[in-house]
Structure formats: C-alpha cells, structure tokens
Structure 1
Amino acid sequence: MFRQYTREFRYNIRLSIPVILGMLGHTFVAFADNIMVGQLGTAELAAVSLGNSFVFIAMSLGIGFSTAITPLVAEADGAGLKSDAKRALKHGLVLCTLLGLSLFVLILLLKPLMYMMDQPAEVVVLAIPYLDLVAFSLVPLVMFQAFKQFSEGLSQTKYPMYATILANVINIVLNYLLIFGAFGFPKMGIVGAAVGTLVSRFVMLAFLWILLNKKQKFHYYVSAFNFRELERKVMKKIIDLGFPSALQMFFEVAIFTAAIWLSGVLGKNPQAANQIALNLSSMTFMFGMGLGVAAMIRVGNQKGLKDWSELRRIAQSIFFLTLLLEIGFAVLFLLCRHWFPTIYLDVDDLANQADNMEVIGLAAQLLLVAAFFQISDGLQVVILGALRGLQDVKIPTGITFVSYWLIAFPISYVLGLHTELGSTGIWIGLLSGLTASAIMLYLRFNHLTKKLALEQANN
C-alpha cells in the first residue's frame, strides 16, 4: 500500500532540497538580521519586525505572482515545447520587473500608516529608515524570482540555491560590518541591516542570470530576448495564473502580518516574542514551500503528459512525505520551545534582563501553539503547490481568503485583544485558519483529480 507512495520519496527530496535551501536562504536573511539586531535591544528588534511586516506583504504579492511561471514552464517541458518555456520566462520577467517597481512605490506611499497603527513610538521612529531601503530591495528580489521560477520549472532547482547562498554570505558580512561598525565601517544600527539586505539581493539577481547564461542548456532560454515583441495572450495567461497565486500568498502572509500588528498593540515585548516565534516558524515553513514547488513541478509535468492517475499518485506521495516531516518539526518545537528564544536575545544583559526574560517566556508559549500548526501549515502549502501545477488557482484563492480572514483573523482578534490569552490567543487563531485551509484545499485537489482520472478512464 505505502510502497507506491514511498518509492517517490527519494526523487521528491532530491528535487525539493535545493528549493528548501534557497527558501531558507531568504528566511535566513531575516534570521541573521533578527539575531544581530536583537543584540541592540528589544525596541530595535520590534522595529525590524514592524518594517518587515510591510515588506513581507509586498514580497508575498511578488513571489506569489512569479509562481505562475513554474507550471507554464513545467507543462511546456513535459510536452517538449522549448519556445513556449522561453516565452513564459520573457513575459514573466517583464511582468515581475514592473510589479517589483510598483510594490516599492506602494510601500513608500503607505509608510504614514505606521503612525496610525497604535505601535510604540520608539519602534516607529527606528522602523521608517530601515523600511525605505528594504522596500527598494523588492525590485531585484522579484526579478530574481522570475529566473528562479523558470529554472525550477525545468526541474533545475540547484542554481537559484547557489545564488541565495552567495547572497546570504554577503548579507551576514555586511550586517556585521554595518550594524556594529566593525573594522572601521560606520555604525549604522538597523539601517546597516537594511543596506546588507539591499546589496545582497542585487548580487543574487546578477549571479543567477550570469550562471544561467553561461550554462549551455539554459543559454537558449535566457538570452536574445526581444522585449519589443510581447504577446498579449501570453501576458494574459501569466496574469490569470499569477494574480490569484499572488492573492493566495498575500492572504496568508497578511494574516501573519496582522498577528505582528496585533502583538504590537499588546506592547513591544509581545511584538518581539511574536517576531521570534514567527521567524522560527518561517524557517520550518520553507520545507513545506520547497515540497510545494516539487509538487507544482511534478504535477505540471504530468499535466503536460495528461496522465491523471499518475499525477494523483505522485501528488499524494508528496503530501505523505510532508506529513511525516512536519510531525518531526512539531516534536522539535515542543522539546526546544524554551531554548530557541534564547538564541535571539542576550540573557546576560543585566540592563535589559527583565524585558529579555519576559520575551523569552512569551515566545515559548507561542512556540507551543506553533508546534501544532506545523502540520497543517506544511500540508496546506504543498497541496496549494499541487493545485498550481494543475493551473487551478481561482477556487483555492477563495479557500485561502475564507480560511485566513473569515476564520483565523476574527479568532486572533477576539482571543488576542479581548481575553487574557494575549499573544497565545492570536496564534490559536492562526492555527485555526491553517487547519481549515489544509482540509479544504485537500478536498478540492481530491475532487478535481478524481474527476480528471475518471474522465480519462472512461475515454
């Protein structure tokens, strides 16, 4: 029984590991920023959290939109249509560049909202200059995503990983030099962290393009673009897939951002604790994201081959692998929930000891809830990837909206701000929404693929 699923594990892991490492790379930028900035104090850590909350919402739209490129390239690759894959990259790159610039401008226009959100004044003052630079880094990041999604659509997942690793090294070095003013560099505090992020993302984009252009198997796809000849039909197809995919990611990231803002209403220490728990959960979430990309690639390939029964078996194998992995993460969070928060704060800092100990205690409570939503969070993102591989995006978008904004947010708001649960209540709401999303998305996938397999069997 299980053999038909477990025999796919090795290939799925091999396909997803470079994606996971690349995704972890993006999260590790925030992890490095948080650890280094956390040494400056809880107000600085809360400021990075607040600034990144704006950036993460915009980033979710950019990354979500770019995922439209992968299933189109995977389907073209499965069908042996190289020219279609190149068209998907060219048009996707144009749209991603325009979107990155638009998101940067939008964040600049929305900055005054920080003063209206009932956040601690000292946190807002620190967050604004940090936000300016990190917002501009969205432009190279979303352009990078276009090349990344294309490469993954051809089942070549390691090259974006190399670029992300390089970017992380640059980011950490610049953080150390500019946050603390090491080796004669100016001491810039959290603005130094923003400079490191901006520079590393431009390097990441340039490195990936050079790498792909020099590889013979990619040269046809990534060179000799004629941007004066853009096809309305291809643009429309990418937008029709990309816009709902962007909304799906936006709805999820926005609910976690709402958790940051709700925590900020409770005070700087709950907000700092929320940031620690969120950063740790984000790192484990990247494993689900990587497996979700593997599901999108493999389902997209089978869609190109029109083999629906095999598509179901492969997708369910990835779901099963995800379930086993996320149970492991749940156990890890339960066992280490009191130790993990101490990585972020200086427990020997006598001047801030009371604040630091309060943050560590609050974060441990949040990680207890996070242990349980590992499973539903991982499953929902992998099932969503499989549905994107099928190019089924509209109904899943509705499911994510209902799960996060009609279920999760009201529960988070009421339990977080109107009961003694506080931050823990906010995260109970997140757990409720993620669980609802996982269940409804699986029912959608199962219904759709059963119907396709049955139609094929009858023909």
Structure 2
Amino acid sequence: MSQFERKSLFRLTLPLFLFTFISIGVTFVDTILLSGYSDNLAAAVSLANQILGVAYDVSGLLSVGALILISQHLGRDEVDKAKNIAVIAVQGSLVLGGAIALVLTLGAGFFADWVNTPDEIRNDVIAYVYIIAGAMVFNGVITSVTAALRGFGRTVEILIMGLVANAVYIFFEYVLIYGHWGFPEMGVYGAALSTLIVRIASIGFLLYVLHAKLQISVFKKPTDFIERVKGIIKISYPSVGEGMSYNVYQLTMVSLIAVLGTTAVLTRSYTLTLTSLLSVISFVISQGNEILVGYDKGSQDNESAYKRANRTAVITGMINMFCAYLIYLNGETLVGLFTQDQDVVNGVVSLLFLSIFLTPLNTINLILFNSLKATGDVNRPVLWNLAITFAIALPLGYVMVRHFDMGVEGLWYVYMVEEAIKAMMMFTLWQSKKWRNLRVLEN
C-alpha cells in the first residue's frame, strides 16, 4: 500500500506553525536566560550563531535537493524512488557534517576575529563554536530526515519532535548555565552543551519515525548512490550557495557594527528575536507552498503551481505586515523582557518600525524564490539574489554604517532596499513562466 498521501497547504503547515510558535517561545526564553546571566553571554551567543550560520547552510546541502526530488517523485506516485532519495540524503549528510565540524574546530579563532568580536566576549564566542562543531556532525542528518518527512507530508511528527526537543533544551540550558539542581554553573559552555544534547536526542527520534512511519532504513545500501548524490547536489548547490553567501554577507554586516560594541550587537540580536515570528511565518508558509508546487510540477499541473505561488505570496505578505505592526506597538514592553538598557530599548523600537515595511518584501521574495526552486529553476533566482546582495546591498551597507554613522539602523535601511529589489526580481521571474519548461526528473 502507498505510504504517501497528498495533503493541503493547511494540513502541511499547521503542525509546522505550531512547531514554529513553540520555537518562538523557546527563543524568547532562551534570550531571557542568556541575558539574565549576563549581557556579554547574550552577545557572545548571538555572534557565535552568526558565524555558525554559514556552517548550518552547508550542512543542509543535500536536504534542499532531496526535498525537491522527493516531492516531484511523489507527484508521480513514485514512492520507492522518493524513499531512495531520502536514504541517500541522510547518509551523504553525515559525511558532510563531519567535514564541517573539522573546519569549525580548526578555524574558530579566525572566524571570531573576522567579525571583529569585542575582546570581552571573544573567548566565549570561540568556546561556543568549538562545542557546536560537535553538534554540526548531526545537523545535516536532522535537516535531511526533516526534509524527507516534510516531502511525505509527515509534519505532525516534526511537531512532536519540536515539543520534546525544545523542552529538553530549555531544561538543560537553564540548569547548565546557572548551575541548579546539582548541575555545575557552566555559563557559555552550558549554553552550547544543551544544544549538543538536543541534537543527539533528535537524531534518534527522527530515525525511529522515518523507519516506523515510512519504512525507510537509513542503514541500508541505496541504489545509484553516487549518481543520485550528484543529482541532488546539482539541484541543491545554487540555493545552498546563495544561503551560504548571504550568511557571509551578514557576517560582513555584523563586523561593521561589532566594532561599535556590545550595545550595537544586542540591539540587532534582540530585534531579530522579536521579529522571529515574522520570519518563521514566511518560512513555514514557503515550505508548505514549496512542497505543493513540487507536487504540481511533478504532475505537470503548471497552472495550479503558478496561481498557488502568487496567491500565497500576496496573502502571507499582508498578514506579516500586520503582525509586524502589532509587534512594533508593543515594542518597549517586549524588549523589556530582555534588558533595561534604554539605549538598546530605543534602538530596537526604531528597528521594529522599519520592520513593518521590510517584512512583506522579505516574505514575497522568500515564497517566490522557493516556488521557483521547487520547479527546478534553481540558477536564475540564485544568481539574481547574489548579484543584488553583493553589488548593491553590501557596498550600500558599508556606506551607511561607516560614512554616514547610522549604526544598526543603517543596516535596516539597506535591508529594505535589498529586499524590495529582490522581491521585484522574483516576481518578474515567476510571471515569465519560463520555469514551465524545466525538468529535474527523467521521463
């Protein structure tokens, strides 16, 4: 009997939304715990995670292409081929994760200096990167299994994992940072170790679900491993390369403000925490839409794919803009959960106002970018995004921060210009309908 049931956007994304809201709550608690221990710890973890962003993108290399191939195979009711892709992605990701962990371990000090890490938090940043390097071995496997579950519509299981993993994470983070209930006070080491513990536990749960629900064993030898890996990478590398390049761009932007001190770093970090709700709404909707567009493309229903992406982008953009406005109205109260430093509070509120206009642009760009990717159009959107980022946004950011002394607020103006141009370009590419003629599966 077939293990695949095509679900609606609502059924696909509702568990992901619930998972996301839980994650947002955990992010708030996480930030409160870190800042409650010390502002330096909060700033150190924020900078370290920015450095690790590039590694996270690379570790998910095989998961991106795997999701596209799985969804299109399932659109053709080729269940066994979809399962084979899942096994290949998991096995390849484990090897890739080990290589990334080695690079992080050897280069932690270099990366910290690259982003102009303030001296008072440099050692903490390096220590955090060292420990997370161990967790990175498992990250690619987690993203690949999650991609497979998403492709097969098993998003409820992802929600269950999120509930358990986040509860475990908060528990260990609290007791290991502060030293409660018989555990030693470990500060930054506790923050990193809690992540490592959760990654290991998540691997076991996800592999069990993959086997129990879909009868997929990642320990068996897949068919056509080398050829399939090449095919997955061919689809994945433009998107992953774009994500990695964008994180390098963000690292460069962070280095521009890091020299201004921990206040600037915290202002950026707290703003991103408060607007994480908006980011994940866009992300979750784009994930569900990407799967459905992949189904449509696999079954050659191009018209449904075209209308679906347009409708999803417009509606989600409007919802996110309204949510951004609500967050701005309650900005001072929300920032007060993290800090009482008035300079930081004022800076965050100013950025929340700008986010009202930034958010819908980012939403439209993300949904249409992922829609193009789901059809196999992975080169054009990536090349345009990279060109806009490095030819326009990066030099503009340098000018706004260094020459006009606009600090973190200057970066938000740059992001608005960048996302506006990207949204217009993704809209143009999608409306051109050239993606209709692309094929990523053999006939």
TM-score, structure 2 as length reference: 0.91
Identity of counterpart residues, as a percentage? 22
- Give ranges in structure 2 of 5+ residues lacking alignment: 1-6, 439-443
Does the 8 Å CA contact 1:322/1:378 hold for their aligned counterparts? yes
- Comparing 236-245 and 63-72, the one that deviates more: 63-72
Aligned mate of 1:151, from 149, 152, 161: 149
Aligned mate of 2:41, from 39, 44, 48: 44
Alpha-carbon spacing, 1:65–1:326, altered in 2? closer, same or farther (3 Å): farther
Q: Tell me, in whole angstroms, the C-alpha distance in 1 between the residues paired with 2:36 and 2:327.
A: 23
Alpha-carbon spacing, 1:265–1:126, altered in 2? closer, same or farther (3 Å): same
1:343 aligns with 2:328: no
- Match of 1:380? 365
- Match of 1:170? 168
Aligned mate of 1:405, from 390, 399, 406: 390
1:222 aligns with 2:217: yes
Q: Tell me, in whole angstroms, the C-alpha distance in 2 between the residues paired with 1:296 and 1:249.
A: 17
Aligned mate of 2:135, from 134, 137, 144: 137
> RMSD between aligned alpha carbons?
2.2
- Match of 1:289? 283
Q: Tell me, in whole angstroms, the C-alpha distance in 1 between the residues paired with 2:212 and 2:55.
A: 32
1:97 aligns with 2:91: no
Cα offset, 1:244, TM superposition: 1.1
How many matched pairs? 431
Q: Tell me, in whole angstroms, the C-alpha distance in 2 between the residues paired with 1:409 and 1:337.
A: 28
Structure 1 segment 165-244 matched on structure 2, within 5 A: 165-215=163-213, 218-219=214-215, 221-222=216-217, 225-226=220-221, 230-244=224-238
Cα offset, 1:125, TM superposition: 1.7
- Match of 1:126? 124
Aligned mate of 1:414, from 375, 379, 399: 399
Alpha-carbon spacing, 1:279–1:41, altered in 2? closer, same or farther (3 Å): same
Does the 8 Å CA contact 2:324/2:352 hold for their aligned counterparts? no
Does the 8 Å CA contact 1:49/1:260 hold for their aligned counterparts? no
- Give ranges in structure 1 of 5+ residues lacking alignment: 1-9, 348-355, 454-459
Deviations 1:133-177, CA, capped at 9 Å, x for gaps: 122212222201111101111222221221122111100000111
Q: SS of 1:274's equivalent? A: helix
Does the 8 Å CA contact 1:408/1:432 hold for their aligned counterparts? yes
Cα offset, 1:181, TM superposition: 0.6
1:254 aligns with 2:251: no
Aligned mate of 1:71, from 68, 74, 82: 68
Does the 8 Å CA contact 1:76/1:304 hold for their aligned counterparts? yes
Alpha-carbon spacing, 1:417–1:357, altered in 2? closer, same or farther (3 Å): same
Does the 8 Å CA contact 1:50/1:261 hold for their aligned counterparts? no
Q: SS of 2:60's equivalent? A: helix
Does the 8 Å CA contact 1:380/1:437 hold for their aligned counterparts? yes
Does the 8 Å CA contact 2:62/2:89 hold for their aligned counterparts? no
1:301 aligns with 2:295: yes
Q: Tell me, in whole angstroms, the C-alpha distance in 2 between the residues paired with 1:256 and 1:281.
A: 17
- Match of 2:3? none
Deviations 1:387-409, CA, capped at 9 Å, x for gaps: 12101111111122122222222
Structure 1 segment 310-329 matched on structure 2, within 5 A: 310-329=304-323
Q: Tell me, in whole angstroms, the C-alpha distance in 2 between the residues paired with 1:247 and 1:80.
A: 30
1:427 aligns with 2:412: yes
Does the 8 Å CA contact 1:63/1:246 hold for their aligned counterparts? yes
- Comparing 244-253 and 425-434, the one that deviates more: 244-253
